[in-house]
Structure 1
Amino acid sequence: MMIHPMFLCHGAPDLVLEENDFTRFLKEIGKQRQPKAIVLFTAHWETEVTAISSIEGTYDMIYDFYGFPKELYRKQYPAKGSPKLAKKVKQLLEDKNIPANLDEKRGADHGTWSLLSIMYPEAEIPVVQISVNPFRPMEEQFRLGEALKSLAEEDILIIGSGSTVHNLRTINANAIKPESWAVEFDDWLIEKITHVSRKELFDYQALAPHARLAVPREEHIVPLFIAMGSGQTEAPKLLYRSYAYGTLTYLGVEF
């Protein structure tokens, strides 16, 4: 059975310390899908040219946040790299005239380990972490994902790790329910995703309600378009949706 690419919101770093509906969803996804390897595009690694982690052993941990509980900075997730798969990914991109570099040093950031430590706590599945460039048009992000479509046939799970609504200035730790504008933006996005309205999605900043407020900077939404491009179905599925802190989206979409 082919493993379909997914876009997953990685939420706040302390998600890994919580037990809630979203973490239960992630655990269930991990039980249902046991890939041979994982290729993950993380919103927390930005490079001009696509960079691909080619780690021989275990990733170092990157704690790319501040002001969280001390136990979070002691969190370990000993994910293993795969230089062989990294080279394959690089070749697939270059076959489509997309430049890419191998990176043998960078550790795993929380866009990677927060999700994977919940989904695959044993850290037994090899991981190839890939950077994003938020300044490329969404059509180019989609084509980047498209170049990697064939990986699904080898039971390799592609994950876009980011968020849809991601405006840290609007976060409210005391919020009981999500802000209406955040819901409206996601409603529009989900409708276009599930109906495969790509032309409108590529122009979401001009067409979607509250787009500038929801996405002041595009690094967190880029992994959505990459995962979409690598999709294996013409009927993407919304797997999960909820909110934290009033405006931070927790979303799961399968392509």
Structure 2
Amino acid sequence: MKAPALFLAHGSPMLAIEDNTYTTFLKKLGEGIRPQAVVIFTAHWMTRQPTVSAVEGTYDMIYDFSGFPRELYEVVYPARGSVEWAERVRERLGGAAEVAVDPTRGLDHGSWVLLHRLFPNADIPVVQASVVPWWTPKQLFQLGEALRPLRDEGVMIIGSGGTVHNLMALRWEGHAEADAWAVAFDDWLLSRSAAHSEEVFDYENKAPYAKQAVPTPEHLAPYWIAYGAGSRDQAPRVLFREYQYGSLSLMAVSF
């Protein structure tokens, strides 16, 4: 079967150790998928050109955050790399861009927080990939397009980031209601994506509250890649949608 192309919000690193409706969703999602390999584009690996990990053996852990409970820094997710799959990914991406290979970089929390929930046994080969956030959405979409044929070989494509990711706008008190501006931005993004409208690539000028929702582009960048890897004959499907702290979007979209 064709493996999925997904955009998954990675939210707060606390998702690795807290149980909530989103972590329950991720667990059930992983139980229903058995890919040959996973390629995950993480917002927390930014490079000047597209780069893929080519790790032989087990990835090192990167705890790229601070101020969290000690328990979070003790999480170990022993994901296996694959030089073979990394080379297949590099070859495919090479049709759209010049691609670099990194044989040493570990998994950052944009990758392991999600994979820890999806595939807790760490028994599926993982290729981690960077984002180039200053590329245009259309350029990032074209990277995803280049990877689309790998889905027919059982390779799952994940874009890991967040559609609304403005840490300065978060409201930390209790269970804050979802902010209307965050919902409005996501509604616009989803509707234009579902229509396969070229307008979606000009979100900075066309979407409501775009600057508020996306003050910097790195967390939205994986969305465009997953979107590009998706099927053109189907509309994107929202699998999960909630908001933490008022506006931190926890959204999962299948393309």
Common fold: TM-score over 0.5? yes
Report the counterpart of residue 250 of structure 2 in structure 1: 250
CA contact (8 A) 2:214 2:220 kept: yes
Q: Which amino acid counterpart does residue 119 of structure 1 have in structure 2?
A: L
Report the counterpart of residue 199 of structure 2 in structure 1: 200
Report the counterpart of residue 176 of structure 1 in structure 2: 176
- Structure 2 Cα separation of the partners of residues 138 and 195 of structure 1: 16
Deviation at 1:234, TM superposition (A): 2.5
CA contact (8 A) 1:23 1:118 kept: yes
Map 1:70-89 onto structure 2 (within 5 A): 70-89=70-89
- Structure 2 Cα separation of the partners of residues 235 and 194 of structure 1: 5
SS in 2 for 1:252: strand
Q: What's the TM-score, normalizing by structure 1?
A: 0.97
- 1:252/1:97 Cα in 2 relative to 1: closer, same or farther (>3 Å)? closer
Deviation at 1:78, TM superposition (A): 0.3
- 1:97/1:10 Cα in 2 relative to 1: closer, same or farther (>3 Å)? closer
- Structure 1 Cα separation of the partners of residues 189 and 141 of structure 2: 15
CA contact (8 A) 1:144 1:226 kept: yes
Report the counterpart of residue 241 of structure 2 in structure 1: 241
CA contact (8 A) 2:37 2:126 kept: yes
> 128-137 vs 170-179, which deviates more?
170-179
CA contact (8 A) 1:196 1:234 kept: no
CA contact (8 A) 2:96 2:142 kept: no
CA contact (8 A) 1:242 1:249 kept: yes
Report the counterpart of residue 18 of structure 2 in structure 1: 18
Q: Which consecutive aligned stretches of 4+ in structure 1 deviate over 4 angstroms post-superposition?
A: none
Deviation at 1:97, TM superposition (A): 4.2
- Structure 2 Cα separation of the partners of residues 72 and 125 of structure 1: 23
CA contact (8 A) 1:194 1:238 kept: no
- Structure 2 Cα separation of the partners of residues 98 and 234 of structure 1: 26
Map 1:153-172 onto structure 2 (within 5 A): 153-172=152-171
- Structure 2 Cα separation of the partners of residues 250 and 97 of structure 1: 30
> 107-116 vs 227-236, which deviates more?
227-236
Report the counterpart of residue 225 of structure 1 in structure 2: 224
Report the counterpart of residue 49 of structure 1 in structure 2: 49
Report the counterpart of residue 151 of structure 1 in structure 2: 150
SS in 2 for 1:128: strand
- Structure 2 Cα separation of the partners of residues 57 and 183 of structure 1: 41
Report the counterpart of residue 138 of structure 1 in structure 2: 137
Report the counterpart of residue 213 of structure 2 in structure 1: 214
Deviation at 1:4, TM superposition (A): 1.8
Number of aligned pairs? 253
- Structure 2 Cα separation of the partners of residues 29 and 35 of structure 1: 12
CA contact (8 A) 2:92 2:147 kept: yes
- Structure 2 Cα separation of the partners of residues 157 and 97 of structure 1: 19
Note the residue ranges of structure 1 that are not aligned, 5 or more in a row: none
- Structure 2 Cα separation of the partners of residues 154 and 30 of structure 1: 18
Note the residue ranges of structure 2 that are not aligned, 5 or more in a row: none
- 2:217 is aligned with 1:190: no
CA contact (8 A) 2:96 2:146 kept: no
- Structure 2 Cα separation of the partners of residues 180 and 76 of structure 1: 37
- Structure 2 Cα separation of the partners of residues 133 and 237 of structure 1: 25
Q: Which amino acid counterpart does residue 195 of structure 1 have in structure 2?
A: A
Q: What's the TM-score, normalizing by structure 2?
A: 0.97
Q: Which amino acid counterpart does residue 75 of structure 1 have in structure 2?
A: V
